[in-house]
Amino acid sequence: MKGDFIMIVQHDIDLNRKLTPEEIEMLKEAMKRPIEYDEDNPELTDEQLAQMRRAAEINREERRKQTVTLRLSPQALRKAKSLGKGYTSVLSRILENALMDNEIIKKNL
């Protein structure tokens, strides 16, 4: 296919804002286009798709967060809340990282 080329257009979409009418139209037009498979992007068999679904379910289960009750000092809570919206997710990551560090664990026992 000498002379044939595919142009890829990339757009960044801010998920925290509403899509513009132009962006909605762009997505609708993109949905109408056929999927083009090639050696780098082959069409998957039903069996391959089923394996991917099982792997995704296992990963999702491993990542599922559980609710716990935790008592924090007033100072720790103030500091955590000062991190802003999503501070509980930040606390979760801090705790997870600390639990991976044996020195931190030993220091706080």
18 Cβ contact partners less than 8 Å away, ≥ 6 residues apart: none
Q: Give domain status of residue 83, yes or no.
A: yes
What is the total count of domains within the chain? 1
pLDDT tens-digit map of 57-91? 888 888 888 888 999 999 999 999 999 999 999 99
Across the range 92-105, mean pLDDT stands at 92
Q: Give domain status of residue 42, yes or no.
A: no
Structure confidence at residue 2 (pLDDT): 56
The model's pTM? 0.45
Q: Give domain status of residue 92, yes or no.
A: yes
Q: Give domain status of residue 29, yes or no.
A: no
- Residue 85 belongs to what domain range? 74-108
Q: Give domain status of residue 60, yes or no.
A: no
Across the range 15-44, mean pLDDT stands at 89
Q: Give domain status of residue 85, yes or no.
A: yes
Q: Give domain status of residue 80, yes or no.
A: yes
Q: Give domain status of residue 103, yes or no.
A: yes
Structure confidence at residue 3 (pLDDT): 57
